[in-house]
Structure 1
């Protein structure tokens, strides 16, 4: 797939096939599809299946069936991230060559133990926007000989972005603070130009030993490759834009615009999720609901 040169807007819906689609996915997919139609743009579907341990082919087929039932149309071929690891690895090698990432061998227990040893209670330790404890830097800056020894032992590791160094380099390339354009309603309540705050994530993981990418690196690469001009997604991913923008600047990739829409929640205000096994579209379809019913349920 090549970048679009027609001047049309390009939007996408990019689900992960690790469960059945629910109403929250329906809203996000319909939001992107309706926006593309209104703008006279193109609609892409991307399968984000880098988590090969959890993704299943039956869920991929379920995505196609559910979206087609909703009346959503998309361009072919559909890009599947699991088929493009070599492309992501090329970008990772570039960041490695510039000294912007480093291998981290820390286990979850090691991180918890390091936090405990600091004397700061775990509940008081700073967390990233996703709620995970910030990495305490256990393996940051260790000698090359130690890194080689750990790799020789076969230890698992992740590639972390050296955020302080990466932000300084991005601002040097950009000629100042890095920003992004938010259109329509946003997680912060307004449209406008927002300055990124990637330090909120600390030294974020962007790849692993066995999978040469992460959500952040893969989505940034794919949006650029597919010529996506307007990224529409849920408000919960608003902070992730900080990471995506810094990677775009570091890797010389084009900058799309963003529109972070509201989330579908249950009566208690909890956002829907696959992990909570919220009722899927296939169950709603089997219960006799129509696509028009789904649109009413999600307020479209």
Structure 2
């Protein structure tokens, strides 16, 4: 693939370059400590060998104390610095920019299915524009998988029943290997694909040439009606259920007195486990849709609920 060499795979993302910088810094520090200790061991082994005339008196007490305090303090603060550097570097990968391009990934034996809210569906492939943050919303239909792009230094486990979110920003045009890095069954080794990074004009042209279908929110809206959700959560529903208009990313009170952010995780869990976190003022009468809707359908439903907003005149949900 693009940019590969025999000895080192060059980083092709912003996060990859940060990871490489940290790696080489730790490698250089480790090499410095290793060779320093090696030189000291050889020096003292030769100088204080049996029969040599080197002085062997005890080190003064104050020198021993100051050396021990200084060495302990230096290594402690070095550890704190390295810990801070590594953790801040890793935590930064979990907060995607607000303008990030969103891509939904569903993993199953033995493929990755990808789709952006308004883009085409792909299997074992993902096309993205260069220098654009890409937020991945990932889930699994069966067992644990792992989305691994070595050139991006990007690897995240995808766990069934849980939503995994992360992001990357590719900064070099090319085609890069995509692997599942978690043993997931008989054909695990065949669960491979590619991430194609394109210039922004080329990506726009590629999108225009793809078959056009309904976006995720439109598909979710149709499913919302088919499953009977609109009968309870609609603006004029007879059953008393929460109005979903404008609920996304809003903090809501729960029946147990706690509060929760209505993000993708909460909406997903409310569909599959409706009695787990019940909104305050409502009875836990909603049935579970676990086993009724597939992961793809669940993704569409979440996208539809995200798209709802409140009408300024009637207070009903509109898109």
Q: TM-score range by the shorter chain?
A: under 0.3
Bigger share in strand: 2
State the structure with bigger RCO (CA 8 A, min sep 6), 1 or 2: 1
Bigger share in helix: 1
For normalisation by structure 1, the TM-score amounts to: 0.24
The structure with the larger Rg is 2
